[in-house]
């Protein structure tokens, strides 16, 4: 538009008459052309196109520029006019404003202007303006802005972002939603390349992600991939990307366009839901087991105590004979069984309702305390307990002590005859695969603890049964106990939002695996 300004300026400076100008140019050029006189602050010339665009004639407005300008934009135009006084030589300047239509509405115009004539002092005496109607363009622009704003709000609401990857130069453009998903601030948005984005992908997922992308490009199709990324702040998120390949007229792949969505909460919710269902099923099962015990095992000692007590009182209250002694022996045995069962049930019940506060503890210290408590057993059996570096984590100290006390006691109890028990306790961080396998949140840190021994072991088919309350694989005479120790261990791990399982073979020892979160939610 600046060249048109200079062209019209040249025509006026050449002395073209107003009528000749109108006939040659004004009625032809698709814009409102006018000259504004600085001294009178009036329009000294106005082409006939003003009627086509706004319905006015020169006589209608009487040379008053403010008659053309929409009232809410008058102040804006006056401010813009001030800038024209600083123009040098053939410089031009443009601004946008609304102009009135004779029928009462307004239209948007982009006005380009320059100094038409200068006074002897060098100050502008008049300005030449060309105003182009941009109403339709502005409406389209506003619609585009509205759609873009709606898309951005949708992306923020659904926690997703879209992107375009140009294959030739490996450049990537992101929408605002993807910047937000990856936690980049408005003023901290780096240039995005393929290598930059791949560096954000979890090391465990890079290979599968790149394979999916390259396969999509080679087949000119698309791909859908779920993987982990690190945000700008270092947080881990699980995202799902769905993409399509764009080809040129020759069928060659030129771009990949896609949408990436944050599904961290969704996946964690699904895992929590599955975990809750499993916990509910387990709780119901335990309730059934408890009800069975309460109605059978606990009643049996009571019946014996009652029966033999009555016989003792009725027949041998004054004198106990052989039969009385037998009855008394049975009463005492039953009473002992009753006491042990009740005590163990109460202990299990207390573990199920754990209300202790979590705190940061060092498992190395816990093991040291347990070894002190088991010092006599260790000496008697010549047992060796070897530990690697153990982590600090958030837990209930007393329950961790009970957990390892039970595990180490079992490892010593179920030793091979004439062979000193060797117990190894190791620790490592749980991998992503292990967390997924056990339905644990992949964005949380977990430690995998293993307690291995060289004892008698057990059949793999009993790996789940040994954690059930009062379940035993051996007779009481050979290996005394109530069969509740491992059930308590399992309950402690459940209280800590962890996982526990066992691996073993007969005569090859056993390994008890415990996976615990570093920090409780």
Q: How far is the CA of 476 from the CAs of 34, 347, 378, 471, 483, in angstroms?
A: 111, 20, 22, 12, 9
Task: Judge whether residue 390 has pLDDT over 80.
Answer: yes
Task: Judge whether residue 423 has pLDDT over 90.
Answer: yes
The CATH number that domain 2-133 falls under is 3.30.450.20
Bridge partners of 94?
Answer: 112
Query: What average pLDDT does this structure show over 182-187?
Result: 79
Task: Judge whether residue 15 has pLDDT over 70.
Answer: no
Alpha-carbon gap, residue 52 to 32, rounded angstroms: 9
- Write the CB contacts of 507 (distance below 8 Å, at least 6 apart in sequence): 416, 456, 457
Highest-confidence segment of 2-6, 31-35, 189-193, 428-432: 428-432
Q: E strand or H helix at 247, and its extent?
A: strand 236-247
Asked if 81 and 74 touch (Cβ cutoff 8 Å), the reply is: no
- Domain ranges for the chain, please list them: 2-133, 141-262, 357-521
pLDDT given at position 142:
65
Confidence band for 45, pLDDT divided at 50, 70 and 90: confident
The structure tokens listed for 303 are 């019946």
Task: Judge whether residue 388 has pLDDT over 70.
Answer: yes
pLDDT, averaged across the chain: 81
Confidence band for 477, pLDDT divided at 50, 70 and 90: very low
Highest-confidence segment of 1-15, 127-141, 349-363: 127-141
Helix count (H) and strand count (E) of the chain? 18, 17
Task: Judge whether residue 292 has pLDDT over 70.
Answer: no
Asked if 239 and 182 touch (Cβ cutoff 8 Å), the reply is: no
Query: CATH second-level architecture of 141-262?
Result: 2-Layer Sandwich (3.30)
- Write the CB contacts of 214 (distance below 8 Å, at least 6 apart in sequence): none
pTM of the model: 0.46
Dump pLDDT digits (tens) for 236-256: 999 988 889 888 888 888 998
User: Do the domains 2-133 and 141-262 sit in the same CATH topology, yes or no?
Assistant: yes
Q: How far out from the chain centre does Cα 445 lie?
A: 15
DSSP-derived letter for residue 188 is -
Query: Who has greater pLDDT, 450 or 62?
Result: 450
Domain 357-521: CATH class, spelled out: alpha beta
Task: Judge whether residue 272 has pLDDT over 60.
Answer: yes
Asked if 162 and 172 touch (Cβ cutoff 8 Å), the reply is: no
pLDDT given at position 404:
93
Query: Who has greater pLDDT, 8 or 304?
Result: 304
Alpha helices in 118-258 (DSSP H): 135-158, 176-181, 194-200, 206-219
Hey, is 339 helix, strand or coil?
Answer: helix
Hey, is 79 helix, strand or coil?
Answer: helix
pLDDT given at position 340:
67
Query: Given CA atoms 304, 306, 311, 312 in this order, what sign does their dihedral have?
Result: positive
pLDDT given at position 16:
47
């Amino acid at each position: 538009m600046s060249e048109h300004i200079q062209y019209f300026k040249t025509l006026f400076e050449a002395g073209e008459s107003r009528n000749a100008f109108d006939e040659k140019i004004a009625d032809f050029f698709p814009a409102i052309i006018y000259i504004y006189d600085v001294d009178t602050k009036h329009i000294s010339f106005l082409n006939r196109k003003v009627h086509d665009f706004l319905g006015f004639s020169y006589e209608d407005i009487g040379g008053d520029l403010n008659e053309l300008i929409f009232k809410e934009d008058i102040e804006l135009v006056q401010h813009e006019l001030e800038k024209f006084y600083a123009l040098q030589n053939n410089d031009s300047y443009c601004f946008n404003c609304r102009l009135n239509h004779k029928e009462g509405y307004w239209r948007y115009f982009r006005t380009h202007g320059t100094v038409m004539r200068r006074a002897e002092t060098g100050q502008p005496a008049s300005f030449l303006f060309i105003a182009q109607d941009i109403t339709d363009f502005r409406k389209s622009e506003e619609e585009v802005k509205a759609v873009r704003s709606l898309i951005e709000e949708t992306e923020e609401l659904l926690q997703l972002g879209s992107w375009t990857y140009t294959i030739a130069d490996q450049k990537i453009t992101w929408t605002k939603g993807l910047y937000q998903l990856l936690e980049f601030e408005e003023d901290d948005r780096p240039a995005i390349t393929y290598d930059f984005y791949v560096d954000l992908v979890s090391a465990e997922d890079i290979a599968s992600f790149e394979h999916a992308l390259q396969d999509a490009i080679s087949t000119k199709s698309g791909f859908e991939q779920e993987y982990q990324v690190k945000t700008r702040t270092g947080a881990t998120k699980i995202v799902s990307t769905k993409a399509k390949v764009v080809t040129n007229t020759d069928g060659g792949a030129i771009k990949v366009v896609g949408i990436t969505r944050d599904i961290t909460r969704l996946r964690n919710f699904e895992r929590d839901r599955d975990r809750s269902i499993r916990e509910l099923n387990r709780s119901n099962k335990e309730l059934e087991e408890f009800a069975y015990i309460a109605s059978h095992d606990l009643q049996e000692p009571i019946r014996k105590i009652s029966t033999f007590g009555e016989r003792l009182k009725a027949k041998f209250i004054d004198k106990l004979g052989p039969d009385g002694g037998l009855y008394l022996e049975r009463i005492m045995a039953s009473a002992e069984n009753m006491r042990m069962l009740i005590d163990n049930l109460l202990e299990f019940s207390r573990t199920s309702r754990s209300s202790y506060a979590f705190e940061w503890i060092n498992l190395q210290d816990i093991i040291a305390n347990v070894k002190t408590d088991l010092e006599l057993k260790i000496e008697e059996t010549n047992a060796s307990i070897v530990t690697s570096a153990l982590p600090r984590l958030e837990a209930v100290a007393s329950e961790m002590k009970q957990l390892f006390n039970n595990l180490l006691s079992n490892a010593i109890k179920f030793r091979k005859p004439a062979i000193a028990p060797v117990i190894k306790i190791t620790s490592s961080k749980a991998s992503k695969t292990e967390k997924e396998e056990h339905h644990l949140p992949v964005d949380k840190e977990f430690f995998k603890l293993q307690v291995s021994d060289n004892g008698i072991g057990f059949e793999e088919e009993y790996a789940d049964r040994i954690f059930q309350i009062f379940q035993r694989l051996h007779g009481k005479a050979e290996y005394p106990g109530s069969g509740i120790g491992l059930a308590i261990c399992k309950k402690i791990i459940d209280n800590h939002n962890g996982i526990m399982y066992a691996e073993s073979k007969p005569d090859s020892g056993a390994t008890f695996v415990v996976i615990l979160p570093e920090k409780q939610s």
